[in-house]
Structure 1
Amino acid sequence: MLKGLSTLAQLKAGALQGCTRLDISCGLTEFPREIFALADSLKILNLSGNQLSSLPDDLPRLRHLEVIFCSENRFTELPAVLGQCPSLTMIGFKSNQIAHVDDEALPPHLRWLILTDNQLTELPSSIGRCHELEKLMLAGNRLAALPAALTQCQQLALVRVAANQLTAFPACLLQLPRLAWLAIGGNPFNAALERNQMDDVASVNASEVTLGQKLGEGASGTIYQAQWHLAEPRTVAVKLFKGAVTSDGWPHTEMAVCRAAGEHLHLIGVYAQLLGHPAGDGLVLPLISPEFTVLAAPPSLKTCIADVYASDLRFTWRVALLLAHGIADAARHLHQRGILHGDLYAHNILHHSDGRAYLGDFGAASFYSPDAAWAPALECIEVRAFVHLLLELLARIDWSAADDEVRLAVMCWQEQCVDLAGAGRITFADLQQGLWRILQNN
């Protein structure tokens, strides 16, 4: 808060001329008019954590504004003026009390919309005009259906509609050719599947665990090293959830999925749920050796749906294919159990330099019935996510002259995978077997 007050003071003193990003969080009840002095430069405006309920009608004066965050404020509707901002591509109004989105509130070049944890019961059909939309985050609302016009958003790749009131799987999602990351858990149509799994979830009281250093942080929670006080004390990892609802959905859905996923060589797994901790409920997980590191960082504001890899990260072809094989096998295992991971991304993978890998973070995961008519389509959606990952890995291989024969085989197989994934005619079993054949034959 002090930083917000300091920034506000600098803004009012005219000391921020030329800045491209402005962050103010200090209990604002009105939009500071001094922001318009930055109209020639401002691209990112973050007013999260205030008490705002409206934006000025002349907001489009910020003609270069590309990103606006107004999370954790007091908005009851998404301001219609946003639709008039000529350069706006990203809108984030998480954790307000928004119950209405005006037909004119969505700008034409919108790529990323975050309305997580609000009170929406419907979306306007005007969302179909957002032809550049790639990321739609609506978890924790009251949506009972999605508009048919959503099918016009043909660039949509990530959709979060977990923790809503959907009584049936939204069929419009199956008409999105680029959809690769989908969170649908915690809705009435799959609630029974989730309840059946919660019955067997083991629990640990917070008094039995002592937290240590922070290891990492994701959309749904924060990971700590910890000591579990058993007869023989065990060093573990603990994930504490960030709230009653996260960007991906309900924490209890993640708990149930972790339990149902079972054991697999390439899944991190779970020991028990943690109850009664002052910071919130969580999970007790195996502690993975520090020799395993996160494969990539999450997407940035600029990349939108693409993970951010270290510029110097390179692999041999065998390590890259071993890594891909392990993840494909883990995904195959999950789908056999009626589980959609929902967030099959490099930033949710821990990898070793020898090609071993673990798929983790079930925050966006959900249950589905393998007998449902739309069940095969869910695997097709997740296969698209895997193909993104596969292409990223193959692009980071250091090929040598001696690898020409293998390189040709890999490239041919890669092209086939992309074509078949686009047509919805390849499964994780196919991918796992194809990778294994290349590894075994070379």
Structure 2
Amino acid sequence: MHTLAALRAGELSGIQRLDLSCGLVEFPREIFALADSLEVLNLSGNALTSLPDDLPRLHRLRVIFCSDNSFTTLPPVLGQCAQLEMLGFKANRIEHVPAESLPPRLRWLILTDNCIEQLPAAIGHCHGLQKLMLAGNRLTQLPAELAQCRALELLRIAANRLDALPEWLLGMPRLSWLACAGNPMESAVPAPAPAARAIHWHEISIGQLLGEGASGLIYQAQWQRDGDNASMPVAVKLFKGEVTSDGWPQNEMAANLAVGQHPNLIPMAGPLADHPQGRAGLVLHFIPLHYKTLAGPPSLASCTRDVYAPGTSFSPANAFNIASGVAAAVAHLHTRGLLHGDLYAHNLQCDDQGHCLLGDMGAASFLPPQRAPSQNLQRLEARAFGCLLEELLLRVQPSLPEAIRQAWSSLRDDCLQPTVAARPLFAEILQRLQASCSLPIKS
């Protein structure tokens, strides 16, 4: 984090990214001294209500973050910044999104946790828009013009006031990651899996913090069931109780309780009960330490695609195990009436043999009971699988046998095709993968 004193002293000359969080109530004019280098401006965690009219003087600016401020209107001046691709205005008090506020090169718009009741029709002119994050607002409908944003791949509209998904949304040619739980349209949720009994706080011994996600904190812990002499290692997720980029934590809780058991899903022991502060939580079986996250989340540059460590490669057998394991897990979720909504490599834990565990139900939604919209939503998720299969194909070493490569490439193309209704469902995806590898392949 930079300081205002360093900025004013001229010590930050030539930097490409500036991070200032120091109780600002006005935009520091000294920032304009960085106009010839500044590309990413992060002013999150201040008390700003406006941006200056001459903001376009920052002519290289590509990304601006102003989350956790006090804006009530998305600043119209943003639309005059010719190079802006990403706007992050999460957790403000925004009620109004003027048409003029949308820059021409917009790719990624974050307006999570605000008070927005409608979007301008002009959003349809944002033809490069790939990610649109609107969870935790007051939207009752989406503008029909959004259908013109044919590059849109990720949409977060959970925790709003939508009575239905528009028909055009289910035909968006590139939409792959959708979160829409916590709206009036959501049907009654399935009953929890039979094994999901409540686990009481007194049975748990909390250990070190393992990580923090959008919706909660995850701790290593020991679970000693009443009447048992030995304890077992578990992970405990304590929800923050706030709206996240994916929606409400209670919707994630409901999805986890409905999942049931599957060998390629991170197993849940049960919901947490009797927390001393009343916090909601889940107890998950501890994933052995030899499992590793398959990839990192998308970067500012990649936008919608995961980032793999340099040199990452998979043997043909491991690639098959990953692909077939994921397909089996998602097929199971769909039969349980759930859309995962965030099918990415960064939500996969894998061992050295390619056995994978799919986790993070934060973006999960319950599928509608009607056959046609339910299947179209499942086919949106098929495109996410196509992206994953493409990433695996690019990294298989040594090369796959030609017949298998052709079969997987054909499956990838069918999953990625723009006509949603023509994509395969996951039962077919799994069958085609298994048929392609009916003979042993190299480890």
1:131 alignment partner in structure 2? 127
Instruction: List per-residue Cα deviations over 1:399-424 (Å, max 9, x = no partner).
Output: 25xx5xx2333224422441354143
Q: Does 1:434 align with 2:429?
A: no
Q: Which residue of 1 aligns with 2:250?
A: 252
Displacement of 1:239 = 1.6
Stretches of structure 1 lacking an aligned partner (at least 5 in a row): none
Matched, 1:290 2:262: no
Partners of 1:207 and 1:31 lie apart in 2 by: 50
Q: 1:309 to 1:180 in 2, by over 3 A?
A: same
For 1:281, the aligned partner's letter is: A
Please tell me whether the aligned partners of residues 118 and 140 of structure 1 are also in contact (alpha carbons under 8 angstroms). Answer: yes
Q: Judging changes above 3 Å, is the alpha-carbon distance between structure 1 residues 440 and 141 closer, same or farther for their aligned structure 2 residues?
A: same
1:339 partner amino acid: L
* Structure with the larger helix share: 1
Query: Structure 1 residues 195, 97: CA separation in 2 closer, same or farther (over 3 Å shift)?
Result: farther
Match of 2:21 in 1: 25
In structure 2, the partner of 1:410 is 405
SS at match of 1:223: strand
Which of 152, 176, 180 lines up with 1:180 in the alignment? 176
In the alignment, structure 1 residue 88 sits paired with structure 2 residue 68 = no
SS where residue 343 of structure 2 aligns? coil
| Corresponding pairs, count | 433
Structure 1 residues 328-348: Cα deviation after superposition (integer angstroms, max 9, x where no partner): 011111111110000000000
The answer for the alignment partner of 1:381 in structure 2 is 380
1:319 partnered with 2:330: no
- CA offsets 1:105-138 (integer angstroms, 9 cap, x no match): 0101000000001111111111001000000000
What does residue 371 of structure 1 align with? 370
In the other structure, the counterpart of 1:304 is: 303
CA distance in 1, matches of 2:260, 2:291: 21
For 1:183, the aligned partner's letter is A
> 2-side partners of 1:81 and 1:22: how far apart?
19
CA contact (8 A) 1:261 1:269 kept: no
Find the partner of 2:414 among 399, 406, 419.
419
Provide TM-score, normalisation by structure 1.
0.93
Worse overlay, 213-222 or 34-43: 213-222
- Deviation of the 1:438 alpha carbon: 2.4
1:102 lines up with 2:85 in the alignment: no
CA shift for structure 1 position 204 = 3.7
Letter in 1 for 2:255: V
2:350 is the counterpart of 1:351: yes
> Residues 279 and 225 of structure 1: is their aligned pair in 2 closer, same or farther, counting only changes over 3 Å?
farther
Residues 99, 426 of structure 1: alpha-carbon distance in 2 compared, 3 angstrom cutoff: same
Q: Distance in 1 between matches of 2:244 and 2:304?
A: 18
Matched position secondary structure for 1:104 = helix
Provide the rounded CA distance (Å) in 2 between the counterparts of 1:326 and 1:382. Answer: 15
Deviation at 1:235, TM superposition (A): 1.4
User: How far off is 1:280 after superposition?
Assistant: 4.4
| Contact 2:155/2:177 (<8 A) preserved | yes
- TM alignment of 1:37-186, pairs within 5 A: 37-186=33-182
Deviates more, 1:122-131 or 1:311-320: 311-320
Q: Cα distance, 1:431 vs. partner?
A: 1.2
Q: How far 1:195 sits from its partner (Å)?
A: 8.1
- Take 1:261 and 1:308, find their aligned partners in 2: how far apart are those partners? 28
1:184–1:366 CA contact under 8 A, matched in 2: yes
Unaligned runs of 5+ in 2: none
Amino acid at match of 1:330: A
Assess, with a 3 A threshold, how the Cα gap between structure 1 residues 14 and 269 changes in structure 2: closer, same or farther. same
* Cα distance in structure 2, aligned partners of 1:377 and 1:41: 45
How many Å apart are 1:371 and its aligned residue? 2.3
Is the 8 Å Cα contact of residues 110 and 134 (structure 2) preserved in structure 1?
yes
Check conservation: 1:99, 1:120, Cα contact below 8 A: yes
**Are the aligned partners of 1:132 and 1:153 in contact in 2 as well (CA < 8 Å)?**
yes
Q: What is the rounded CA distance, in whole Å, between the counterparts of 1:351 and 1:222 in structure 2?
A: 21
CA pair 200-119 structure 1, distance change in 2 beyond 3 A: farther
Distance 1:212 1:200 in 2: 25
Tell me which amino acid in the other structure corresponds to 2:118: E
Root-mean-square deviation (Å): 2.0
Deviating more after overlay: 289-298 vs 372-381? 372-381
Aligned-pair identity in percent equals 53
Contact 1:150 1:172 in 2 (8 A): no
Q: Quote the residue 1:222 is aligned against.
A: 217
Instruction: Deviation per CA, 1:300-340: give whole Å up to 9, x if none.
Output: 11110010111122111111011100100111111111100
